[in-house]
Amino acid sequence: MQKEDTSWFASWFDSPYYHILYKNRDDTEAANFMNRLTENLQLNPASKILDLACGKGRHSRYLASLGYDVTGIDLSSKSIAYAKKFEKENLHFAVHDMCVPYKKGGFTSVFNLFTSFGYFDNEQDNLTTIKAIKTNLSNNGLAVIDFLNVAYVTANLVKSEIKIVEGITFQIKREISNGYIHKHISFSANNKKHQFTEKVRAFTLEDFKNYFKDAGLDLKQTFGDYHLNPFNAATSERLILIFGV
């Protein structure tokens, strides 16, 4: 199902410039987060994990290296084509819309990491995705959404900055309007001007609680950073939610 292919994330995430801009993401921090998260969830070696909106699969690959059976799915065909180079017995990738269940009851845990939620213009698609996560979970399974903390972002918003990566000058402007956090990215490359806008719904903890209630899910734990410190609405950089049936 490809109903969102015309949305901003379909074109931007499939662009090589997206991966250039974000090439310096901290893999060590990501690995440490996965270590803490899997320990907190008390996953056993036979656990099956679905990495929802996996991108090029950096989290999936690390989770597989820990011995888990991991499937990464993403709407970006180019990202999945790259990730498939790393497939092995316990690591698989597929192009798939996260609004649609991938495998009913097929996973011990579903991970949605690095603010990979809240992109949809249609409000119903957000709840549909939460319900799809529920369908993907096995009995007593747990899911994780790693989201930004809107209050912290609002208080610390960097409205304008310039980043130079691989000789490309990215001009970045941020704003919060109409319930969304907007990140406008403009640059020139290969003698052509490019412009993209990332748009993420400014969901609060209460918004997620309402989604979970509507989907018949319970919020089990909340954390405020990748060290799994308690969530504080005023000071936490992240909003990490653990939920299940």
The count of domains in the chain is: 2
CATH classification of the domain holding 80? 3.40.50.150
* Residuewise pLDDT in 10s, the chain (245 residues): 333 344 666 677 778 888 788 777 767 888 999 999 999 999 999 999 999 999 999 999 999 999 999 999 999 898 999 999 999 999 999 999 999 999 999 999 999 999 999 988 888 999 999 999 999 999 999 999 999 999 999 999 999 999 999 999 999 999 999 999 999 999 999 899 999 998 999 999 999 999 999 999 999 999 999 999 999 999 999 999 999 98
Same-domain status, 157 and 139: no
Question: Is 222 part of a structural domain of the chain?
Answer: yes
In the prediction, which pLDDT does 1 show? Answer: 31
What pLDDT sits at residue 14? 76
**CA-based nearest residue to 73, from 37, 39, 107:** 107
Residue 3 lies in a domain: no
Q: What is the pLDDT of residue 210?
A: 97
- Asked whether 127 and 211 are in contact (CB, 8 A), the reply is yes
Taking the C-alpha atoms of residue 61 and residue 194, their distance in angstroms, rounded to an integer, is 31
Whether residue 2 is contained in a domain is answered as no
CA distance 244 to 110: 10
pTM given for the model? 0.90
Length of the chain in residues, anyone?
245
* 164 and 48 part of one domain: no
Its domain, for residue 76, covers 8-149+204-244
Whether 105 and 45 map to the same domain: the answer is yes
61 with 127, same domain: the answer is: yes
Q: Cβ(18)–Cβ(12) under 8 Å?
A: yes
Identify whether residues 211 and 237 lie together within a single domain.
yes
